[in-house]
Amino acid sequence: MQLKRLGGDFALEAGGVDLARPLSDGAFREIEEAFFAGQVLVFRAQNLTARQFLEFARRFGPPEPHVVDQFHHPEYADILILSNVVRDGKPAGLADAGTYFHTDYSYLETPARATLLYSLQVPRAGGDTLFANQYAAYDDLPGAMKKRLEGLVGLHHYGNRDDLEETSRTAASLLTEEQKGRLHWVRHPVARRHPVTGRTALYAVSGSSFGIEGMPEGEARALLDELKRHATLGKYRYRLTYGAGDVVIWDNASLLHSATLTDPDDARTLWRITIKETRRQA
């Protein structure tokens, strides 16, 4: 495997790997190391069946089907179909998923370790994913702010705290009443120790964080907004542009990410698998 740096201080591209072929434990260990080191790891121009994609994803941990179950892959519920294509008046997948900075499954008690996307249809323009490095964002905070964050616990719920208008393209994907009923408030540290690398990162300060335990609402919102502004600055970002067949895997515990709005008439389709954390925070 050859590794190439894509962004300034994170995001790697792995060459010389065919994910359709069985991976030895040694080869997988190398990939896993590159994943935790790079935070975003990209494999270009793969040719995978749904089953092969799922088998690769499972090497990272247990997949967790997305709450939006109407767009699960017909054979593999662990795969969520992201697509803006409409066939015979019916959406082929979930459109506009995650078009705001967020961390996957931060609205669940055991959040996501990794998310994988496999790009099937690439639009003529756009369709990129943005990533923001939350290790670097935390490291750069002034000492007084790091001290202030010590022990603070964020209160999370499904949604985008900056856009709750259900019909908006930048709100969280709409849930049915039954799906809403499956979700509850959960707690995560605002500055969170990564369960594998042990490094501290700002955690989901954009997206599902609506408050801070024990802090008046206005003060908590102001602090979260200040952290979000800092955490999504251009200097922490990397923009991934897809080619057909590209597979990307990213580390949710050390990143925020955001889809970008694409012309609804310019077809974009990806398969997505989300892997849950298996180790609780140290």
The site for ligand SIN (CB under 6 A) is made up of 82, 97-98, 115, 129, 257, 259, 272
Tokens standing for 141? Answer: 């905070």
What radius of gyration, in Å, describes the C-alpha atoms of the chain? 18
Of residues 94 and 149, the one with the C-beta less far from ligand SIN: 94
Tokens standing for 211? Answer: 């408050």
Of residues 112 and 186, the one with the C-beta less far from ligand SIN: 112
Closest distance to ligand SIN from the beta carbon of 248 (Å)? 9
DSSP structure string for 127-179: --EEEEEHHHHHHTS-HHHHHHHTT-EEEE-SS-TT---TT-TTSPPP--HHH
| Residue whose beta carbon is closest to ligand SIN | 98
Closest distance to ligand SIN from the beta carbon of 63 (Å)? 14
Report how far Cα 213 is from the mean position of its chain's Cα atoms.
24
Q: How far is Cα 255 from Cα 133, in angstroms, rounded to an integer? A: 5
Of residues 98 and 154, the one with the C-beta less far from ligand SIN: 98
Closest distance to ligand SIN from the beta carbon of 257 (Å)? 6
Of residues 93 and 211, the one with the C-beta less far from ligand SIN: 93
Closest distance to ligand SIN from the beta carbon of 78 (Å)? 14
Residue 117 pairs in a beta bridge with 248, 272
Of residues 121 and 152, the one with the C-beta less far from ligand SIN: 121
Q: Write down the H helix ranges in the chain.
A: 25-38, 50-58, 134-139, 143-149, 177-181, 217-231
Closest distance to ligand SIN from the beta carbon of 132 (Å)? 13
